[in-house]
Structure 1
């Protein structure tokens, strides 16, 4: 009698596990992420609750902060918190230039603060002319942060127009300075008007009045967590930020 060959069927459980295990891994990662407590501590000296889980703190300013004493900004330290970096407004649109930029840029550098310059962008203006406006004002050197595209207003333009014009500005900046620019916006604007097409750019997110991290699957590097902070050397309130990394990572992000 001939032997019958036993057909070894692949256990159904293997298929189930192949489907379930990746999902469980994602859920576990999200759970661990949520379990990592974001600790805020009230600092009366800064006038706000500070996310002390981060090591690198910074500010962003424009002419509306008036005449800044940058050495006082740099010298202020409470516990382990000090101002290590600053984003400074340089230009807006195709013709506007921040009246305080030149002084802020020079004095921040002299004080030893890592500095970055940003451009307020309009999708209704020629992006090449906006890029030229920025280049004519800002001279970046080794140790400075990459140029920043501040894109947060839609001016009733569709997402396709905002994406195409922003892309032109970003590409012009990369050609001019040899580094990928940083994008500044909020999560809603990013997901509505920019999306995955810009995921290769470093992201600086505005997200305040809420004691939690910006909620997005998109990785971000800078988080603007308050617009009512105070620091020595500045008479007005000022925006506060954190960097998601240590001092070495911040330096590595800078222009070589």
Structure 2
């Protein structure tokens, strides 16, 4: 015999349990969405690009050979365009990147805000390396501040490394009248520079997260990929974002 359907209204305990399940489900969905990397894939650039930044850039050296800067300037995918460029200028005591002069001139002609960087050799005098950079690089209004690229100790002590870095930075700041930017990776900064150079603008390399670099201090630029594609450049190129809006970016430029 078929049972009659019950017309009993669900009790308070049932409704409470249902409410708990709904809340748990909503929290789980919120946590899932929060934990997802906030990025978008751009086939034209060949990489995933962080979505919460509006100012994008690249950095180049002799390894990108002869760059067609007009093609770089004209490339656009979605709402992403290249808005600034860092260019290797010098290394050590006397070396200059063989493409620096051409890159510096042509990037400027294409209308890019430009930044020049020096690759630091910890075994050499920081002040003397600064003079190498100063001899080669004439910064002008609208350029980015000079950059110290420091990534290796080359076997010197942490104290000697920091002394050389400070000498380099002090000499550049005295000459150009602007605080230089430090480029390095997260681990190197935390191990060798943290606590003594925290007031310098930081350009940090970190490829393991898609939403932001894993570092506690403030940062200005984030190099998040080294495998991007850009029209006018043969081979892969590093991609970066600026941590701020257009007003913040303008405030950073040399005036």
TM-score, normalising length: structure 1: 0.85
Look up the match of 1:193: 192
Question: Is residue 2:178 matched to residue 1:176?
Answer: no
Once residues 245 and 146 of structure 1 are traced to their aligned partners in structure 2, the CA distance between those partners, rounded to angstroms, is 16
Indicate yes or no: 2:80 matched with 1:68: no
Q: Does 1:156 align with 2:116?
A: no
Residues 89-168 of structure 1 mapped to structure 2, 5 A cutoff: 89-168=88-167
Q: Which runs of 5+ in 2 are unaligned?
A: 1-30
**Does the Cα contact within 8 Å between 2:206 and 2:214 map onto a contact in 1?**
no
Structure 2 distance, partners of 1:220, 1:36, is: 22
Secondary structure class of the residue paired with 1:175: helix
Moved more, 209-218 or 134-143: 209-218
1:57 aligns with 2:59: no
1:154-186 CA distances to partner (integer Å, 9 max, x unpaired)?
111121111110000000000010000000001
Q: SS in structure 2 opposite 1:189?
A: helix
Distance 2:253 2:36 in 1: 29
CA displacement at 1:136 relative to structure 2: 0.7
Runs (4+) of structure 1 exceeding 3 A deviation are 34-38
The yes-or-no answer on 1:220 pairing with 2:219 is yes
Q: Secondary structure of the residue that 2:129 maps to in structure 1?
A: helix
Q: CA deviation at 1:209?
A: 4.3
Which position in structure 2 is the counterpart of 1:23?
none
Tell me, yes or no, if the aligned pair for 2:58 and 2:240 is still in contact at 8 Å. yes
In structure 1, what is the equivalent of residue 235 of structure 2?
Answer: 236
Does 1:254 find its partner at 2:242?
no
Q: CA deviation at 1:249?
A: 1.1
Partner secondary structure for residue 224 of structure 1: strand
Q: CA deviation at 1:212?
A: 3.9
Indicate if the aligned counterparts of 2:126 and 2:168 stay in contact, CA closer than 8 A: yes
Cα pair distance change 1:36/1:56, threshold 3 Å: farther
Please state whether the residue corresponding to 2:72 is helix, strand or coil: helix
Count of residue correspondences: 224
| TM-score after normalising by structure 2 | 0.85
The structure with the largest alpha-carbon Rg is 2
SS in 2 for 1:139: coil
CA contact (8 A) 1:38 1:53 kept: no
- What is the SS of the residue equivalent to 2:172? helix
* Conservation of the 8 A alpha-carbon contact between 1:163 and 1:193: yes
CA contact (8 A) 1:121 1:151 kept: yes
Aligned pair in 2 of structure 1 residues 38, 219: CA closer, same or farther (>3 Å)?
A: farther
Please state whether the residue corresponding to 1:198 is helix, strand or coil. coil
- In the alignment, structure 1 residue 208 sits paired with structure 2 residue 218: no
RMSD over aligned CA atoms reads: 1.6
Task: Deviation per CA, 1:40-93: give whole Å up to 9, x if none.
Answer: 111110010111210000000001101000011011111110000000000000
Match of 1:79 in 2: 78
